[in-house]
């Protein structure tokens, strides 16, 4: 089921459009540090887990710099999970440790098993402790089962298809894709 999404260029184009919307909103703002104007300052990325059909679109992270103080203002992203080299959608995919679906995912995307294990730990330990999650977790009833992240969170989004639910979840956690600007 998830393998089809990872090979669907239309899904990746949807994520690009969402990132463009986030970037347009950021560009309308001013520098949080000095209120100067923002200028385009996209930077290159070499993302893993990206289908060849959309690799060119995913080779740049949308970003801006201040025209006065040169501080960077990077908009939230549904395509990139901060500085991680794998695409954000790849981090959403989970499977039981040692299961055949886990091995299939690792084979499809050339992900080392220890990397998948590290993501599992991030979701269940580090993500659960983020100020972001602490501030939004009570929105979900019944509560999201931390030991079953990210699938238990993905279940809470009610769009029809897996691709739509993934897009909603990526939009939801997009604030984690950037670091706050230093003032």
For 3-19, give the DSSP string.
HHHHT-HHHHHHHHHHH
pTM for this prediction: 0.88
pLDDT value of position 1: 46
Q: What is the pLDDT of residues 37-51, one digit of tens each?
A: 999 999 999 988 888
pLDDT beneath 70: ranges in the chain: 1-2, 94-103, 105, 180-183
What pLDDT does 94 receive?
A: 60
The pLDDT of residue 103: 67
Which string of b and e fits 38-66 if b means at least 16 CB within 10 Å?
beeeeeebebebbeeebeeebeebbbbbb
CA–CA distance, 175 with 179 (Å, rounded to integer): 8
The answer to whether the CB of 5 falls within 8 A of the CB of 92 is no
pLDDT score for 102: 60
What's the pLDDT score for residue 2?
65
Contact 145, 152 (CB under 8 A): yes
**Which helix (H) or strand (E) element contains residue 103?**
helix 100-109
pLDDT at 51: 84
């Amino acid at each position: 089921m998830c393998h089809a999404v990872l090979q669907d260029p239309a899904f990746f184009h949807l994520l690009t459009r969402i990132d463009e919307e986030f970037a347009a909103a950021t560009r309308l703002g001013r520098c949080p540090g000095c209120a100067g104007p923002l200028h385009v300052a996209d930077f290159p990325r070499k993302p893993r887990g990206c289908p060849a059909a959309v690799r060119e679109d995913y080779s740049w992270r949308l970003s801006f710099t201040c025209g006065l103080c040169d501080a960077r203002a990077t908009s939230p992203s549904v395509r990139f999970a901060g500085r991680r080299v794998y695409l954000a959608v790849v981090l959403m995919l989970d499977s039981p440790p040692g299961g055949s679906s886990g091995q299939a995912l690792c084979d499809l995307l050339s992900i080392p098993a220890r990397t998948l294990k590290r993501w599992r730990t991030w979701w269940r330990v580090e993500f659960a402790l983020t100020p972001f999650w602490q501030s939004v977790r009570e929105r979900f009833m019944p509560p999201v089962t931390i030991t079953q992240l990210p699938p238990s969170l993905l279940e809470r989004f009610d769009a029809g298809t897996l691709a739509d639910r993934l897009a909603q979840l990526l939009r939801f956690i997009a604030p984690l894709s950037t670091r706050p600007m230093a003032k």
